[in-house]
Structure 1
Amino acid sequence: MKKLREFHGQKLRVDHSFDLFGQMEYYESLWEGTPSAYKDYEKTKAHVLQLKDYIEANAGERVLTHIDAVPDNFLFVEENGKEEIRLIDWEYAGMQDPHVDIAMFCIYSLYKKEQVDHLIDLYFEGNCDDRTRIKIYCYIAVCGLLWSNWCEYKRKLGVEFGEYSLRQYRYAKDYYKIVQQELGEEGKETCTK
């Protein structure tokens, strides 16, 4: 997380962005009319879309964000007797709120909420405010549905991701509920505008 924070702190800029909601819709469009494997998909998608207003109201400065900042893409190398960490696989990188990278790390690792909160605390060195933490929970829900849609597209091509696919879908459902619980009555207003 220190390396990720240092990368984000450089505030690098590029000419393209990564649109979470747009990518979610794009992967769904690749199903070409095939219904989702999940019977409650439309309800889950509607819930996830309700998080957009909260995200936009609380999004941080857009900087170059890796998007695929998962454990497999952190390369530990030894150079001149010193260990370094390098980020590899920049396929999805673009301008985005850098806190998306925290969410991506969590969902790829299949973290439980306690692990998610611990990772957030590591990234922010114990100083994460509640609104930012809730925003990261929103990103977990959105990114979970995005990658679940990607998995459903791959399933259409004959590639199965098994538990990973199901867990991504569960993140969409579970973290929507967590956001609602965290926001209480405010959440009902914020997430239904």
Structure 2
Amino acid sequence: MSLQPPVYYIKSEYIETDTGNKVSRRATIAGPQNIILGGKTIISSGAIIRGDLRRTGPGHAVVISLGRYCLIGENCVVRPPYKTYRGTFNYYPMKVGDHVHIGAGSIVEAATIGSHRELIGDIYQSKFTIIKDCAKIADNTVLMPNSVVPALAHFAGAPGQFVEDLPESTQEMVEAETKSFYNRFQPLES
């Protein structure tokens, strides 16, 4: 197996936190007090994470939680799901597990995204989607509201449909890929 080359970024264009998160200065992090990054997460240029959207009433912050080794691609939008219940419009928390790769241009409003997941680019996940561990969503897939993607499943299409079962080794493969990308993501001095 050949080693993959480094992916360079301009150091002055990223902020690196104490826990190893690398956040582009060109990303929009709205409501950072309501966003939790687990560590060693990369948020690319043009990404938008909406932690500023709130439930109604004081003290009802909506939390977006991203696990360790998450890769948020360029121009992604990550925002909490919302619905009107008994005449009241509310946002709800969003939890993203560890080792999740969200490809460039995706729009994500899922309630839960499990660990060891690969979302390729240009995906639209409708409100309250639940994506279990070790699943893969292909390019240009549209997941319908309240849909559930089972563990070890590959989904594609518009609307998203089951394509095939993934191998039991998917967890190890995705974990190796996200760690490798993080380690190859190296600063280029400006």
| Same fold by TM-score greater than 0.5 | no
- TM-score, normalization: structure 2? 0.25
- The structure in which a higher percent of residues are strand is 2
